């Protein structure tokens, strides 16, 4: 479904990615783990078209997308919940969800269904529907960011550190819902996480990034038992 | 005494409305780009000229100067120019080509305007004849042409000058804006000449009855005499500001605009074409500046030249800063405060300082409340 080949990305003179190659198949949850600054966010942003690679290719369902602008990539069926959530703090929960459905806004029925689906996944959001997003707690903002990313009906969902800064019980909830989105709604997920333990538990495969390179790739269960991974990313 | 006060009040609100109309352009562009479009005042000046060409074209009676049609022709040229550039905007080395294209298009249109002003084209006879029979139709045509031309000019400036340097730093953008401003002022002088102009809708058939004299309002024993022309300016600016507010608050474009203003990358992730929204923001802001240019001169008969936009633009910018740059309602409030301040100072012993008021306000606001009257120091949640 998604194929990244030998991706090199620079920020000015700073090298962020040095040849990342990875693949996500339809129906999978794939996770990308790695320390701060490894290049996970850069990879996610390049898939969405927010940063452009110097060399390398990204294809989605066979179509090269690395030269497309973000709004066109979204229309192909790629949604993203960005690092730091980035909800529109000065707008209500409802307006945020509506913006998530920006490309299908004229189809009132689909928008309504989407909002209902989001409220079904995150009942907390329904209670807060008319509240400004900036007044939500961190966990609620994360729910909103995910709900908003689902509004356009993506087939591939990119999640950048959805558990960052959340209380432990909320982390559990978020991971449970990610699995639900994958299994019940059939959305393929590429999940970036610092919380490697949790991420590897719900993923089928995983990639380990270090200073802009993939240093390991395997099934999630093998990575979970890999001594090196356990030492470096699971705090043992 | 009280009559005098109320009269000044109305005049102040009317002047403030015109400032507001230009100030909102600074503020919405700042909102989406965090950039001060220093060429905005010059767009206002172009609006005054475009209105003049239409009104003079009509009022001179003879079809020998169907300038309105020339102006429309110019717009078609700009659109054609855009179409020819489609798909080439991203080409980095094309920046120079684009600027040359812009200059050529501008010179071409300018020459055409000049040519048609002197010569005559019979082709447009019937259309001009119709519009020239009535001040209301003529006024609406003039307003539409001023708005459309300036809206197109705003988009053209954004695409050809600002977009190529977007993301290369604030200083670059600022210098580019000053360059564009100089280009319009001096290019305008080359095309329109350096004469001082004045025109009035009064010159159109029926204009005298509609615009001459005052309207006497009787309020609990106090009689208020308001000049009809100024009352129309007041009503028109109010309507335009309300329309803009509606667009920004309730339409799909408006919502996208607010999203881009808040977080451009997040907006792009919603499927919003941020480039289109930015161009649309320039279109709206510049169109309103064009309307302000026409209203403030075409209905009052004040004089202007190609440098008129400099001082007025600076003052409208002060109004936007006063209200809180980036805040739409702030720009309206700032415009009104500035208009009132100028009106009341104008009639006082301090009247020689009328033009200085704006800058005294600017210094005061920068010292005591840099975020402006309605601007807030937002706290970001991490
Ligand atoms: N906007 C930016 N400008 C310059 N350097 C950046 C920018 N964003 C990220 N980087 C650099 O790119 C590298 C990868 O960062 P990032 O993709 O954010 O990593 P991660 O998400 O794994 O923490 C880091 O060295 C980081 O400092
Ligand atoms: Mg990151």
Ligand 1 pocket member A13 (CB < 6 A): no
User: Å from A19 to nearest chain B CA?
Assistant: 24
Complex-level ipTM beyond the 0.90 threshold: yes
With 70 as the cut, is the pLDDT of residue B284 above it? Answer: yes
In this prediction, residues A19-40 reach a mean pLDDT of 94
pLDDT at B109: 66
Q: Give the residue-averaged pLDDT of A172-198.
A: 93
Atom 7 (ligand 1) nearest CA: A11
Q: Which fold has domain A2-88+149-233?
A: Rossmann fold (3.40.50)
Percent of chain A at pLDDT > 70 equals 100
Chain B residues contacting A via beta carbons under 8 Å: 252, 255-256, 258-259, 262-263, 265-275, 378, 380-382
Among A166-180, A181-195, B108-122, B200-214, name the one with the lowest average pLDDT: B108-122
The yes-or-no verdict on residue B66 having pLDDT over 80 is: no
What local confidence, expressed as pLDDT, does residue B57 receive? 74
pLDDT of residue B100: 72
Closest-lying ligand to the alpha carbon of A7?
1
**Cα-based distances in Å from B211 to A5, B85, B139, B203:** 71, 44, 12, 10
Domain boundaries, given as residue ranges, for chain A: 2-88+149-233
The predicted-structure confidence for B294-342, as pLDDT tens digits, reads as follows 999 998 889 999 999 999 999 999 999 999 998 999 999 999 999 999 9
Distance from CA of B246 to the nearest CA of A (A): 16
Q: Is the dihedral of CA A210, A215, A217, A222 positive or negative?
A: negative
Among residues of chain B, what percentage have pLDDT more than 90?
A: 42
Indicate whether A235 pLDDT > 80.
Answer: no
**What is the per-residue pLDDT for B217?**
75
pLDDT of residue B98: 63
pLDDT digits (tens, 9 = 90+) for A109-160: 999 999 999 999 999 999 999 999 999 999 999 999 999 999 999 999 999 9
Mean pLDDT of A77-82: 96
At B204, the pLDDT band (50, 70, 90 cuts) reads confident
Instruction: Count CB-CB contacts under 10 A for residue B230.
Output: 21
CA nearest to B289, candidates B241, B230, B221, B351? B241
Q: What is the pLDDT of residue A230?
A: 85
Q: What is the pLDDT of residue B52?
A: 87
| Best B87, B252, B269 residue to mutate vs chain A (most A CBs within 10 Å) | B269
More confident residue, B327 or B118: B327
pLDDT band of residue B131 (cuts 50, 70, 90) is low
């Amino acid at each position: 479904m998604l194929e990244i080949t030998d991706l090199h990305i620079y920020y000015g003179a700073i090298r962020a990615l040095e040849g990342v190659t990875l693949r996500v198949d339809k129906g999978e949850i794939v996770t990308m783990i790695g320390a701060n600054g490894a290049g996970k966010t850069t990879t996610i942003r390049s898939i969405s078209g927010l940063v452009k690679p110097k060399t390398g290719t990204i294809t989605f369902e066979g179509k090269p997308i690395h030269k497309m602008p973000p709004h066109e990539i979204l229309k192909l069926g790629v949604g993203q919940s960005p690092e730091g959530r980035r909800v529109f703090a000065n707008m209500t929960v409802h307006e945020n969800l509506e913006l998530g459905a920006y490309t299908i806004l004229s189809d009132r029925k689909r928008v309504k269904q989407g909002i209902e689906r989001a409220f079904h996944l995150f009942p907390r959001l329904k209670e807060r529907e008319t509240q400004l997003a900036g007044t939500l707690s961190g966990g609620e903002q994360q729910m909103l960011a995910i709900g908003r990313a689902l509004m356009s009906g993506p087939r591939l969902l990119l999640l950048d550190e959805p558990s960052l800064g959340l209380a432990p019980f909320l982390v559990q909830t978020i991971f449970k819902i990610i699995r639900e989105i994958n299994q019940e709604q059939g959305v393929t997920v590429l999940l970036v996480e610092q919380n490697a333990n949790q991420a590897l538990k719900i993923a089928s495969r995983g990639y380990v990034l270090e200073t802009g390179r993939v240093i390991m790739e395997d099934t999630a269960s093998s990575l979970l038992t890999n001594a090196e991974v356990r030492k470096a990313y699971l705090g043992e | 005494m009280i009559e005098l006060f109320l009269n000044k009040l109305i005049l102040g609100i009317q002047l403030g409305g015109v400032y507001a109309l230009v100030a909102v352009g600074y503020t919405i562009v700042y909102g989406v780009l965090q950039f001060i479009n220093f060429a905005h005042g010059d767009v206002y000046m172009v609006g005054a000229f475009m209105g003049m060409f239409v009104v003079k074209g009509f009022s001179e009676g003879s079809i020998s100067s169907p300038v309105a049609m020339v102006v429309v022709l110019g717009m078609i040229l700009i659109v054609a120019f855009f179409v020819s550039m489609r798909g080439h905007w991203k080409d980095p080395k094309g920046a120079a080509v684009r600027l040359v294209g812009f200059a050529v298009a501008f010179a071409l249109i300018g020459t055409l305007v000049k040519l048609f002003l002197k010569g005559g084209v019979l082709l447009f006879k019937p259309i001009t004849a119709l519009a020239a029979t009535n001040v209301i139709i003529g006024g609406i045509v003039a307003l539409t042409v001023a708005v459309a031309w300036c809206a197109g000019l705003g988009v053209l400036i954004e695409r050809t000058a600002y977009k190529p340097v977007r993301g290369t730093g604030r200083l670059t953008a600022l210098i580019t804006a000053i360059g564009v401003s100089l280009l319009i002022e001096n290019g305008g002088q080359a095309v329109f000449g350096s004469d001082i102009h004045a025109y009035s809708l009064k010159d159109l058939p029926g204009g005298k009855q509609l615009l001459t004299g005052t309207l006497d309002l009787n309020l609990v024993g106090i009689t208020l005499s308001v000049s009809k022309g100024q009352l129309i300016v007041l009503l028109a600016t109010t309507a335009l500001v309300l329309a803009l507010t509606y667009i920004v608050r309730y339409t799909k474009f408006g919502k996208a605009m607010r999203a881009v203003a808040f977080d451009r990358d997040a907006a792009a992730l919603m499927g919003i074409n941020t480039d289109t929204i930015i161009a649309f923001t320039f279109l709206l802001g510049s169109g309103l500046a064009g309307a302000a240019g026409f209203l403030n001169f075409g209905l009052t008969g004040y004089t202007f030249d190609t440098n008129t936009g400099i001082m007025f633009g600076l003052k409208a910018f002060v109004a936007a800063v006063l209200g809180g740059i980036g805040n739409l309602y702030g720009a309206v409030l700032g415009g009104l405060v500035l208009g009132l301040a100028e009106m009341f100072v104008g009639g006082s012993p301090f009247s020689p300082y009328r033009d200085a008021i704006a800058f005294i306000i600017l210094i005061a606001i920068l010292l005591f409340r840099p975020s402006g009257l309605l601007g807030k120091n937002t706290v970001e949640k991490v």
